[in-house]
């Protein structure tokens, strides 16, 4: 059987009617009447996806991806519906994610679009780009645990089988951040190219990419937060006669937080707004200008239409790859090392750079927690690490006698 996507456009609407497997339920089906409209597993899946409409675009996409993968595995490998799966099945599924067969992965290890350019179903689509890392498998399991937790809470399923699976403990410290010097070099070489390129469309794309990198560094936003907010979410207050600025963000779990805006970023913001052709240097209350605006086909800015969270990620990744290529070509001291860092990095790494920089500057962990929108200071403690070289310098003189 051909592996086909379960949805094309809306991740909240799976097309499960073609799979009789999910018109039934298994041993885990609760005996009581559920408090959701679900008499079979297909309807239970749809109820869960429907409740995700209140979540961010990024959250919906993450859960939909992991549930779709599990359902496709049920169809093509396990031959069982979701409430028939037992602990042994989930151990099998974990091994499957770590090494999916070739027919489950696209040929170029890069996720294909669900539709072709003509709008028809893309026959080359596959659910995996390749083998998942241990970290990615852990994320998938957390998403699926939330799914089964929802089913048990709504009295559709008896138990949540996912917590029984032994997972590796998440590391306390991470090095998935860009050193500040690497980010500085990337911005410098991209902005230099921005000044010498004659194509306005190329310049605008590069200008937006550099602004986005600095937005991440100075404000520590998440992907969805950069995509879902507008210039009118900035606001100004008075502090002993001085203007102080904040960005009001609706973040993960629809929690609102006010991020202090550093003076250095206000200058960057004013310059970017000037390039957009806006009338005021700094935002006005209720302004509808997108925080990260879309580009028109001719390369000009569509200042009202924001980019999607997925596009934000692509812009940052492309900027990293371009900066890496320019650094490699320039071949000055340490350029190769910085280029290698950039090739590894994702957009989320700059958020980690923000957190690390705040901690290194001496800011209390509770303040860093509030700026980043963490639920607990325990999460923020991952930024209590230093660059490897700095740690080596402090350890180098250690000796006996």
Three-state DSSP class for residue 87: helix
- The torsion defined by the Cα of 331, 337, 340 and 345, in degrees rounded to 10, comes to -120
Residue count of the chain: 401
Instruction: Give the pLDDT of residue 198.
Output: 57
Three-state DSSP class for residue 279: coil
Which candidate, 147, 142, 169, places its Cα nearest to that of 157?
A: 147
Instruction: Give the pLDDT of residue 292.
Output: 95
d(CA 337, CA 357): 20
DSSP secondary structure letters along 117-169: TTSSB-TT--SBSSPPPHHHHHHHHHHHHHHHHHHHHTTSBS---GGGS--PP
Residue-range domains of the chain with CATH: 20-164 (1.10.150.130), 180-395 (1.10.443.10)
Report the first-to-last Cα separation within the chain, whole angstroms: 71
Beta pairing class for 256-260 and 293-295: unpaired
Average pLDDT along the chain, 401 residues, taken 10 residues at a time: 89 91 95 94 96 83 94 96 95 95 78 80 90 90 94 95 58 64 92 62 86 92 90 93 92 88 94 93 94 92 92 92 93 89 87 83 84 76 58 58 53
d(CA 287, CA 232): 4
Buried b / exposed e along 364-390 (16+ C-beta atoms within 10 A)? ebeebbbbbbbeeeeebbbbebeeeee
The whole-model pTM stands at 0.63
Instruction: Give the pLDDT of residue 148.
Output: 95
Instruction: Give the pLDDT of residue 164.
Output: 58
Instruction: Give the pLDDT of residue 104.
Output: 95
């Amino acid at each position: 059987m051909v592996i086909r996507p379960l949805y094309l456009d809306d991740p909240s609407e799976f097309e499960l009617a073609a799979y009789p497997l999910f018109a039934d339920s298994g041993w885990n089906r609760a005996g009581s009447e559920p408090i959701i409209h679900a008499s079979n597993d297909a309807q239970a899946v749809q109820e869960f996806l429907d409740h995700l409409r209140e979540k961010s675009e990024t959250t919906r996409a993450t859960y939909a991806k992991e549930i779709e993968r599990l359902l496709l595995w049920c169809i093509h490998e396990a031959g069982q519906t979701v409430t028939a799966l037992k602990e042994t099945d989930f151990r099998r599924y974990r091994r499957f994610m770590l090494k999916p067969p070739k027919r489950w992965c696209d040929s170029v290890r890069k996720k294909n679009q669900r539709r072709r350019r003509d709008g028809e179903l893309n026959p080359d689509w596959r659910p995996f780009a390749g083998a998942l890392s241990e970290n990615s498998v852990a994320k998938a399991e957390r998403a699926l645990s939330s799914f089964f937790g929802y089913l048990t809470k709504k009295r559709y399923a008896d138990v949540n089988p996912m917590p029984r699976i032994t997972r590796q403990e998440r590391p306390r410290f991470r090095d998935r951040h860009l050193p500040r010097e690497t980010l500085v070099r990337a911005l410098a070489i991209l902005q230099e190219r921005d000044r010498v390129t004659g194509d306005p469309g190329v310049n605008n794309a590069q200008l937006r990419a550099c602004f986005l990198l600095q937005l991440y560094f100075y404000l520590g936003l998440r992907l969805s937060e950069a995509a879902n907010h507008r210039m009118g979410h900035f606001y100004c207050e008075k502090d002993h006669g001085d203007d102080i600025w904040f960005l009001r963000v609706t973040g993960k779990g629809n929690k609102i937080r006010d991020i202090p805006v550093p003076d250095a970023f206000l200058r960057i913001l004013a310059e970017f707004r000037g390039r957009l052709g806006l009338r005021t240097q700094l935002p006005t209350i209720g302004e509808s200008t997108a925080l990260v605006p879309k580009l028109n086909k001719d390369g000009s800015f569509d200042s009202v239409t924001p980019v999607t969270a997925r596009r934000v990620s692509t812009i940052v990744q492309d900027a990293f790859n371009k900066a890496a290529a320019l650094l490699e070509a320039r071949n000055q001291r340490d350029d190769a090392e910085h280029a290698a860092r950039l090739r590894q990095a994702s957009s989320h790494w700059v958020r980690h750079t923000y957190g690390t920089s705040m901690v290194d500057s001496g800011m209390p962990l509770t303040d860093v927690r509030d700026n980043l929108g963490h639920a607990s200071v325990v999460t923020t403690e991952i930024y209590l690490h230093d660059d490897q070289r700095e740690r080596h310098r402090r350890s180098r003189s250690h000796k006996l006698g």
